Amino acid sequence: MDDQQHDQQTSAALGLSDDELADHPTVFAADALAGQVVVVSGGAGGIGRAIAWLFARLGAHVVVVGRNADKLDALVDRLGHRGVKASAHVADIKDADAVNAMFDALWTAHGRVDHLVNSAGGQFPQAAIDFSIKGWNAVINTNLNGTWYMMQAAAQRWRDRKHQGSIVNVVVVTTHGLYGIAHTIAARSGVIGLSRALAVEWAPLNIRINCIAPGAIETEGWNVYSEAARAAYPRSNPMMRPGTPWDIAEAAVYLAAPSGKFITGETLTVDGGGQHWGETWTTGKPDYFKGGD
């Protein structure tokens, strides 16, 4: 197979299905989040969907947010069939007005919001030297600005109502020079720094903010990478396998629920040890790095 063919993307069924998420065992008590309301951006994506299922199974009402109404409605339907509470809200997190209108609507509908999980995000893999201005801005606007609009809108309403809250931001491992996704590393480093600063500034408001940095987690989001790049992701950590969206969902509950009540400003890396050993090449391994292979 030549490099051209290596770079071909193929669409594959990846990650966990709704049926699997509905029955996946969990360490958490069935009523751990009873009566609470959680907003999950990217809630119909691979990781967000697992987060939505787990929070809902633990008794929370889950509001899944994204741009694609069909995807959101189909998920809410499946959650409803399993007897858990969920609703959909269509919004582009890049649109601050839409984000603010959404939080007003949610407070009117539910009288409370307890947790925000920001899982909406993504990037296209490309050598940084070839980023267009539009492409760079799309990634920064989605992952840094969009996440910020969500955080600020949630926090303003918590402040105004003297209500405690927790935020979990799903980011990317930023301690590596992850090749081909420099735009997202820049955006996510911004989110991690912002979260540390706000952990202090918003502590008097009883708001905690933490991040989760996933390693290679098999989801449909991987379809933006070539088959060859995806096939190599298990070698990105010493466990030699990808993680599952459930690994991230349980980490999100751990940080959001009372189990995390003394944790704020932290980034929890869930990567099977990938920070310490492993290789990740989102655009394939360049010849320069093949010396000795």
Ligand X SMILES: NC(=O)C1=CN([C@@H]2O[C@H](COP(=O)(O)OP(=O)(O)OC[C@H]3O[C@@H](n4cnc5c(N)ncnc54)[C@H](OP(=O)(O)O)[C@@H]3O)[C@@H](O)[C@H]2O)C=CC1
Ligand Y SMILES: CCCCCCCCC/C=C/C(=O)SCCNC(=O)CCNC(=O)[C@H](O)C(C)(C)COP(=O)(O)OP(=O)(O)OC[C@H]1O[C@@H](n2cnc3c(N)ncnc32)[C@H](O)[C@@H]1OP(=O)(O)O
> Among positive and negative, which fits the CA dihedral 168, 169, 170, 171?
negative
If one asks whether residue 169 binds ligand X (CB under 6 A), the answer comes out as no
Choose which of 36, 37, 55, 66 interacts with ligand X (CB under 6 A): 66
Give the C-alpha separation, 32 to 170, whole Å. 21
Q: What is the bridge-based pairing of β-strands 61-66 and 86-90?
A: parallel
If one asks whether residue 73 binds ligand X (CB under 6 A), the answer comes out as no
If one asks whether residue 234 binds ligand Y (CB under 6 A), the answer comes out as no
Evaluate whether 45 touches 18 at the Cβ level (below 8 Å).
no
Query: What are the C-alpha distances in Å from 99 to residues 15, 30, 65, 95, 193?
Result: 28, 30, 10, 6, 22
Site string for ligand Y, 158-197 (x = CB under 6 A): --------------xx--x---------------------
Q: Which two tokens stand for residue 258?
A: 């009372």
- Please state the three-class secondary structure of 18-66 as a single string: HHHHHHCCCCCCCCCCCCCEEEEECCCCHHHHHHHHHHHHCCCEEEEEE
Q: Which is nearer to ligand Y, 118 or 236 (CB)?
A: 236
Choose which of 58, 86, 140, 172 interacts with ligand X (CB under 6 A): 172
Minimal distance in Å, beta carbon 10 to ligand X?
A: 16
Q: Which residues bind ligand X (CB under 6 A)?
A: 41-42, 44-48, 66-68, 71, 92-94, 119-122, 142, 146, 170, 172, 214, 216-217, 219-221
Binding site for ligand Y (CB under 6 A): 122-124, 126, 132, 134-135, 138-139, 142, 172-173, 176, 215-216, 221-222, 224, 236, 271, 274-275, 280, 282
